[in-house]
Protein backbone atom coordinates (compact mmCIF):
# COMPACT_ATOMS: atom_id res chain seq x y z
CA UNK A 1 0.00 0.00 0.00
CA UNK A 2 1.12 3.53 -0.66
CA UNK A 3 1.60 5.88 2.26
CA UNK A 4 -1.30 8.16 3.08
CA UNK A 5 -1.39 11.62 1.58
CA UNK A 6 -0.40 13.21 4.90
CA UNK A 7 2.73 11.05 5.15
CA UNK A 8 3.98 11.37 1.60
CA UNK A 9 7.21 13.41 1.32
CA UNK A 10 7.11 16.68 -0.59
CA UNK A 11 9.23 16.54 -3.75
CA UNK A 12 10.45 19.10 -6.25
CA UNK A 13 11.80 18.37 -9.73
CA UNK A 14 15.00 20.33 -10.42
CA UNK A 15 16.72 20.02 -13.80
CA UNK A 16 17.58 21.90 -16.96
CA UNK A 17 15.03 23.20 -19.47
CA UNK A 18 13.50 20.49 -21.64
CA UNK A 19 14.98 17.61 -19.65
CA UNK A 20 11.85 16.62 -17.73
CA UNK A 21 9.84 16.28 -20.92
CA UNK A 22 12.27 13.68 -22.21
CA UNK A 23 12.84 12.00 -18.85
CA UNK A 24 9.26 11.54 -17.63
CA UNK A 25 6.42 9.80 -19.40
CA UNK A 26 2.83 10.36 -18.30
CA UNK A 27 3.06 7.07 -16.41
CA UNK A 28 6.15 8.30 -14.59
CA UNK A 29 4.41 11.52 -13.57
CA UNK A 30 1.43 9.53 -12.29
CA UNK A 31 3.72 7.28 -10.25
CA UNK A 32 5.58 10.28 -8.89
CA UNK A 33 2.29 11.85 -7.76
CA UNK A 34 1.33 8.58 -6.06
CA UNK A 35 4.58 8.36 -4.13
CA UNK A 36 5.05 12.00 -3.15
CA UNK A 37 3.33 15.30 -2.61
CA UNK A 38 4.43 17.04 -5.76
CA UNK A 39 3.23 18.82 -8.82
CA UNK A 40 4.81 16.56 -11.45
CA UNK A 41 4.55 19.35 -14.00
CA UNK A 42 6.41 21.94 -11.91
CA UNK A 43 10.10 21.85 -12.82
CA UNK A 44 12.60 24.22 -11.22
CA UNK A 45 15.23 25.10 -13.81
CA UNK A 46 16.98 27.59 -11.53
CA UNK A 47 16.71 27.21 -7.76
CA UNK A 48 18.25 30.64 -7.28
CA UNK A 49 15.58 32.46 -9.30
CA UNK A 50 13.11 34.69 -7.40
CA UNK A 51 10.07 32.71 -8.52
CA UNK A 52 7.46 32.50 -5.73
CA UNK A 53 6.07 29.15 -6.83
CA UNK A 54 9.51 27.51 -7.04
CA UNK A 55 10.58 29.11 -3.75
CA UNK A 56 7.50 27.78 -1.97
CA UNK A 57 8.01 24.27 -3.37
CA UNK A 58 11.69 24.31 -2.43
CA UNK A 59 10.89 25.43 1.11
CA UNK A 60 8.57 22.43 1.53
CA UNK A 61 10.65 19.83 -0.34
CA UNK A 62 11.93 16.81 1.53
CA UNK A 63 13.21 15.31 -1.73
CA UNK A 64 14.70 16.74 -4.90
CA UNK A 65 14.47 14.76 -8.13
CA UNK A 66 17.35 16.06 -10.24
CA UNK A 67 18.82 15.40 -13.66
CA UNK A 68 21.10 17.17 -16.13
CA UNK A 69 21.25 20.92 -15.70
CA UNK A 70 20.26 20.92 -12.03
CA UNK A 71 21.22 23.99 -10.02
CA UNK A 72 24.30 23.43 -7.81
CA UNK A 73 23.13 22.95 -4.24
CA UNK A 74 25.18 25.69 -2.64
CA UNK A 75 24.78 26.77 0.99
CA UNK A 76 22.57 29.62 -0.24
CA UNK A 77 20.24 27.22 -2.08
CA UNK A 78 20.15 24.79 0.82
CA UNK A 79 19.23 27.62 3.19
CA UNK A 80 16.03 27.99 1.16
CA UNK A 81 15.33 24.25 1.56
CA UNK A 82 15.16 23.73 5.33
CA UNK A 83 13.25 20.42 5.09
CA UNK A 84 15.41 18.82 2.41
CA UNK A 85 16.69 15.37 3.35
CA UNK A 86 17.62 13.60 0.11
CA UNK A 87 18.60 14.15 -3.52
CA UNK A 88 17.54 11.54 -6.08
CA UNK A 89 19.51 12.04 -9.30
CA UNK A 90 17.99 10.49 -12.42
CA UNK A 91 21.32 10.48 -14.27
CA UNK A 92 24.95 9.53 -13.67
CA UNK A 93 27.47 11.72 -11.88
CA UNK A 94 26.27 14.01 -9.08
CA UNK A 95 29.45 16.07 -9.00
CA UNK A 96 27.92 18.98 -10.90
CA UNK A 97 25.25 19.84 -8.35
CA UNK A 98 25.90 17.96 -5.08
CA UNK A 99 28.31 20.21 -3.22
CA UNK A 100 30.28 19.85 0.01
CA UNK A 101 27.44 21.72 1.69
CA UNK A 102 25.14 18.78 0.95
CA UNK A 103 27.41 16.33 2.78
CA UNK A 104 27.88 18.77 5.65
CA UNK A 105 24.11 19.02 5.91
CA UNK A 106 23.86 15.21 6.05
CA UNK A 107 21.74 14.87 2.93
CA UNK A 108 21.30 11.40 1.48
CA UNK A 109 22.11 11.13 -2.22
CA UNK A 110 21.37 8.47 -4.81
CA UNK A 111 22.14 8.29 -8.51
CA UNK A 112 20.97 6.38 -11.57
CA UNK A 113 24.56 5.85 -12.69
CA UNK A 114 24.01 2.09 -12.79
CA UNK A 115 21.16 2.52 -15.27
CA UNK A 116 23.17 4.99 -17.35
CA UNK A 117 26.09 2.55 -17.50
CA UNK A 118 24.15 0.00 -19.53
CA UNK A 119 23.86 1.83 -22.89
CA UNK A 120 27.49 2.99 -22.64
CA UNK A 121 28.60 -0.62 -22.18
CA UNK A 122 26.40 -1.71 -25.10
CA UNK A 123 27.89 0.98 -27.35
CA UNK A 124 31.37 -0.14 -26.28
CA UNK A 125 30.66 -3.80 -27.00
CA UNK A 126 29.46 -2.90 -30.50
CA UNK A 127 32.55 -0.73 -31.05
CA UNK A 128 34.89 -3.53 -29.93
CA UNK A 129 33.30 -6.12 -32.21
CA UNK A 130 33.07 -3.71 -35.15
CA UNK A 131 36.73 -2.73 -34.62
CA UNK A 132 37.85 -6.33 -34.91
CA UNK A 133 35.89 -6.79 -38.12
CA UNK A 134 37.12 -3.43 -39.51
CA UNK A 135 33.51 -2.55 -40.25
CA UNK A 136 34.06 1.19 -40.63
CA UNK A 137 36.96 0.91 -43.06
CA UNK A 138 35.48 -1.95 -45.08
CA UNK A 139 32.23 -0.02 -45.51
CA UNK A 140 34.19 3.00 -46.74
CA UNK A 141 36.24 0.86 -49.12
CA UNK A 142 33.10 -0.84 -50.43
CA UNK A 143 31.55 2.56 -51.18
CA UNK A 144 34.76 3.68 -52.92
CA UNK A 145 35.21 0.53 -55.04
CA UNK A 146 31.58 -0.30 -55.86
CA UNK A 147 32.81 -3.51 -57.46
CA UNK A 148 34.02 -7.00 -56.61
CA UNK A 149 37.12 -7.15 -54.44
CA UNK A 150 39.42 -9.74 -52.85
CA UNK A 151 38.04 -9.16 -49.36
CA UNK A 152 39.45 -12.41 -47.95
CA UNK A 153 42.97 -11.40 -48.89
CA UNK A 154 42.56 -7.89 -47.50
CA UNK A 155 40.99 -9.12 -44.27
CA UNK A 156 43.70 -11.60 -43.28
CA UNK A 157 44.45 -9.63 -40.10
CA UNK A 158 40.83 -8.92 -39.22
CA UNK A 159 38.47 -10.75 -36.87
CA UNK A 160 37.61 -11.10 -33.19
CA UNK A 161 38.75 -14.65 -32.51
CA UNK A 162 41.20 -14.71 -29.59
CA UNK A 163 41.80 -10.99 -29.71
CA UNK A 164 43.07 -9.24 -26.60
CA UNK A 165 40.83 -6.43 -25.36
CA UNK A 166 42.08 -3.95 -22.77
CA UNK A 167 39.62 -2.27 -20.41
CA UNK A 168 40.93 0.79 -18.56
CA UNK A 169 38.93 1.38 -15.39
CA UNK A 170 36.80 -1.01 -13.35
CA UNK A 171 33.91 1.45 -13.15
CA UNK A 172 30.31 0.32 -13.45
CA UNK A 173 30.68 0.66 -17.18
CA UNK A 174 34.06 -1.06 -17.33
CA UNK A 175 32.78 -4.01 -15.30
CA UNK A 176 29.68 -4.26 -17.47
CA UNK A 177 31.81 -4.35 -20.61
CA UNK A 178 33.87 -7.17 -19.10
CA UNK A 179 30.64 -9.02 -18.38
CA UNK A 180 29.30 -8.49 -21.91
CA UNK A 181 32.54 -9.79 -23.39
CA UNK A 182 32.42 -13.09 -21.50
CA UNK A 183 30.54 -15.04 -24.24
CA UNK A 184 33.17 -14.10 -26.85
CA UNK A 185 36.50 -15.77 -27.62
CA UNK A 186 38.62 -12.84 -26.46
CA UNK A 187 41.15 -12.30 -23.70
CA UNK A 188 40.26 -9.35 -21.46
CA UNK A 189 42.93 -7.37 -19.62
CA UNK A 190 41.78 -4.90 -16.97
CA UNK A 191 43.67 -1.97 -15.47
CA UNK A 192 42.49 -0.24 -12.32
CA UNK A 193 44.94 0.94 -9.64
CA UNK A 194 42.32 0.45 -6.89
CA UNK A 195 41.41 -3.12 -7.81
CA UNK A 196 43.13 -6.19 -6.33
CA UNK A 197 40.73 -8.92 -7.47
CA UNK A 198 39.44 -8.83 -11.06
CA UNK A 199 35.84 -9.58 -11.98
CA UNK A 200 35.17 -12.93 -13.69
CA UNK A 201 36.43 -12.99 -17.25
CA UNK A 202 39.26 -10.47 -16.81
CA UNK A 203 42.95 -10.50 -15.88
CA UNK A 204 44.58 -7.58 -14.11
CA UNK A 205 47.45 -5.88 -15.93
CA UNK A 206 49.46 -2.69 -15.66
CA UNK A 207 48.45 0.13 -17.98
CA UNK A 208 51.56 -0.05 -20.15
CA UNK A 209 51.34 -3.83 -20.42
CA UNK A 210 47.65 -3.63 -21.28
CA UNK A 211 48.33 -1.17 -24.08
CA UNK A 212 51.21 -3.21 -25.48
CA UNK A 213 49.19 -6.44 -25.59
CA UNK A 214 45.74 -5.24 -26.67
CA UNK A 215 44.39 -4.89 -30.18
CA UNK A 216 41.47 -2.88 -28.75
CA UNK A 217 41.70 -0.59 -25.71
CA UNK A 218 38.52 0.94 -24.22
CA UNK A 219 38.69 3.71 -21.62
CA UNK A 220 36.22 3.75 -18.71
CA UNK A 221 38.06 5.63 -15.96
CA UNK A 222 36.58 8.65 -14.14
CA UNK A 223 37.70 12.20 -14.81
CA UNK A 224 40.00 13.03 -11.91
CA UNK A 225 43.26 14.98 -11.59
CA UNK A 226 45.09 11.64 -11.45
CA UNK A 227 43.51 10.42 -14.71
CA UNK A 228 44.20 13.52 -16.81
CA UNK A 229 45.76 12.28 -20.07
CA UNK A 230 46.41 8.88 -18.53
CA UNK A 231 46.57 7.52 -22.08
CA UNK A 232 49.58 9.55 -23.12
CA UNK A 233 52.43 9.38 -25.60
CA UNK A 234 54.04 6.31 -23.98
CA UNK A 235 50.83 4.30 -23.88
CA UNK A 236 49.88 5.27 -27.43
CA UNK A 237 53.30 4.31 -28.76
CA UNK A 238 52.96 0.94 -27.04
CA UNK A 239 49.71 0.09 -28.85
CA UNK A 240 50.28 -2.43 -31.64
CA UNK A 241 49.98 -1.31 -35.24
CA UNK A 242 46.33 -1.41 -36.28
CA UNK A 243 45.00 -1.24 -32.71
CA UNK A 244 41.77 0.61 -31.95
CA UNK A 245 41.34 3.06 -29.08
CA UNK A 246 37.78 3.59 -27.79
CA UNK A 247 36.83 6.46 -25.49
CA UNK A 248 33.33 6.80 -24.02
CA UNK A 249 34.52 8.29 -20.71
CA UNK A 250 35.93 11.82 -20.90
CA UNK A 251 38.07 13.41 -23.58
CA UNK A 252 40.66 14.64 -21.08
CA UNK A 253 41.73 11.06 -20.30
CA UNK A 254 43.53 10.81 -23.65
CA UNK A 255 46.33 13.06 -24.86
CA UNK A 256 44.78 13.90 -28.23
CA UNK A 257 47.83 15.87 -29.32
CA UNK A 258 49.84 12.66 -28.97
CA UNK A 259 47.08 10.55 -30.53
CA UNK A 260 46.58 12.58 -33.73
CA UNK A 261 49.93 11.70 -35.37
CA UNK A 262 49.15 7.98 -34.94
CA UNK A 263 45.72 8.51 -36.51
CA UNK A 264 46.83 10.67 -39.41
CA UNK A 265 49.55 8.15 -40.22
CA UNK A 266 46.95 5.39 -40.18
CA UNK A 267 48.85 3.39 -37.57
CA UNK A 268 45.97 3.40 -35.09
CA UNK A 269 42.18 3.50 -35.30
CA UNK A 270 39.85 5.29 -32.88
CA UNK A 271 36.22 5.31 -31.80
CA UNK A 272 35.70 8.58 -29.94
CA UNK A 273 32.38 9.46 -28.36
CA UNK A 274 34.05 12.15 -26.25
CA UNK A 275 36.88 14.54 -27.04
CA UNK A 276 38.82 17.37 -25.44
CA UNK A 277 37.38 19.90 -26.06
CA UNK A 278 33.95 18.30 -26.06
CA UNK A 279 33.24 19.81 -29.48
CA UNK A 280 36.31 19.55 -31.73
CA UNK A 281 37.07 22.68 -33.77
CA UNK A 282 35.61 22.72 -37.30
CA UNK A 283 39.00 22.03 -38.89
CA UNK A 284 39.78 19.02 -36.69
CA UNK A 285 40.97 15.99 -38.70
CA UNK A 286 38.89 13.81 -36.38
CA UNK A 287 35.85 14.62 -38.52
CA UNK A 288 37.34 13.30 -41.74
CA UNK A 289 39.99 10.67 -40.98
CA UNK A 290 38.86 7.35 -42.46
CA UNK A 291 40.16 5.40 -39.44
CA UNK A 292 38.20 7.46 -36.88
CA UNK A 293 34.57 7.02 -35.87
CA UNK A 294 33.58 10.26 -34.13
CA UNK A 295 30.18 10.41 -32.42
CA UNK A 296 28.65 13.34 -30.49
CA UNK A 297 28.60 11.93 -26.94
CA UNK A 298 25.72 9.53 -27.63
CA UNK A 299 26.96 6.41 -25.84
CA UNK A 300 25.12 7.32 -22.65
CA UNK A 301 21.37 7.26 -22.15
CA UNK A 302 19.29 8.98 -24.82
CA UNK A 303 15.81 8.60 -26.30
CA UNK A 304 13.85 5.86 -24.57
CA UNK A 305 16.95 4.86 -22.59
CA UNK A 306 16.29 7.89 -20.39
CA UNK A 307 13.25 6.08 -19.06
CA UNK A 308 15.46 3.39 -17.54
CA UNK A 309 17.09 6.08 -15.40
CA UNK A 310 13.68 7.44 -14.45
CA UNK A 311 12.52 3.96 -13.46
CA UNK A 312 15.54 3.56 -11.19
CA UNK A 313 15.02 6.99 -9.63
CA UNK A 314 11.36 6.23 -8.91
CA UNK A 315 12.35 2.93 -7.30
CA UNK A 316 14.70 4.84 -5.02
CA UNK A 317 11.92 7.28 -4.12
CA UNK A 318 9.67 4.32 -3.33
CA UNK A 319 12.36 2.91 -1.03
CA UNK A 320 12.61 6.26 0.71
CA UNK A 321 8.87 6.41 1.32
CA UNK A 322 9.04 2.91 2.85
CA UNK A 323 11.86 3.93 5.15
CA UNK A 324 14.36 1.67 3.36
CA UNK A 325 17.98 2.46 2.42
CA UNK A 326 18.69 3.57 -1.11
CA UNK A 327 19.89 0.74 -3.35
CA UNK A 328 22.36 3.01 -5.16
CA UNK A 329 23.37 5.48 -2.48
CA UNK A 330 26.24 7.84 -3.22
CA UNK A 331 28.56 8.85 -0.41
CA UNK A 332 31.06 11.68 -0.29
CA UNK A 333 34.00 9.27 -0.09
CA UNK A 334 32.86 7.57 -3.32
CA UNK A 335 33.46 10.70 -5.37
CA UNK A 336 37.22 10.67 -4.88
CA UNK A 337 37.50 7.67 -7.18
CA UNK A 338 34.40 7.85 -9.35
CA UNK A 339 32.82 10.02 -11.99
Which tens digit of pLDDT belongs to each residue from 25-34?
999 999 999 9
* CA 66 to mean position of chain CA atoms: 16
87: left (phi over 0), alpha (psi -120 to 50) or beta: beta
CA distances from 31 to 69, 202, 308, 315 (A): 23, 40, 14, 10
Backbone angles phi, psi at 135, to 5 degrees: -65, -45
Supply the residues annotated as catalytic.
250, 278, 297
**Residue 127: how many other CB atoms lie within 10 Å:** 26
Contact 167, 111 (CB under 8 A): no
What is the DSSP secondary structure assignment for residue 86, as one 8-state letter? E
- pLDDT in the model for residue 1: 44
Give the DSSP per-residue string, 164-194: EEEEE--SHHHHHHHHHHTTSSEEEEEE-TT
Q: Cis link prior to 216 (omega < 30° from 0)?
A: no
- Helix H segments across the chain? 19-23, 26-35, 52-60, 75-79, 100-105, 113-132, 135-145, 151-154, 172-181, 207-213, 233-238, 256-264, 306-321
Q: Which pTM was predicted?
A: 0.92
What CA–CA distance (Å, rounded) separates 166 from 147? 36
Contact 91, 115 (CB under 8 A): no
CA atoms 160, 161, 166, 169: torsion sign: positive
What is the DSSP secondary structure assignment for residue 334, as one 8-state letter? G
What is the DSSP secondary structure assignment for residue 221, as one 8-state letter? -
- pLDDT in the model for residue 149: 86
- pLDDT in the model for residue 3: 46
CA distances from 290 to 39, 124, 202 (A): 50, 19, 31
Q: Which helix (H) or strand (E) holds 63?
A: strand 63-66
- Intervals of the chain under pLDDT 70: 1-6
Give me the count of residues in the chain.
339
- pLDDT in the model for residue 153: 79
Radius of gyration of the chain (CA): 23
Amino acid sequence: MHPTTDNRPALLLAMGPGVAGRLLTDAHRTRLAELTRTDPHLVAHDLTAPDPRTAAALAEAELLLTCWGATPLTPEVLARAPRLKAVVHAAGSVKHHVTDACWERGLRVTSAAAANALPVAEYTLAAILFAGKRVLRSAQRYAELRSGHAWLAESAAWGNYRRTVGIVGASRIGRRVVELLRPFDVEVLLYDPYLTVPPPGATLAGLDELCARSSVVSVHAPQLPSTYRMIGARQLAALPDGATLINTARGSLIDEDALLPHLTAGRLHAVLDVTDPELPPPDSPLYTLPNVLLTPHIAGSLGNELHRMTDQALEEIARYTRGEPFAEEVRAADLAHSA
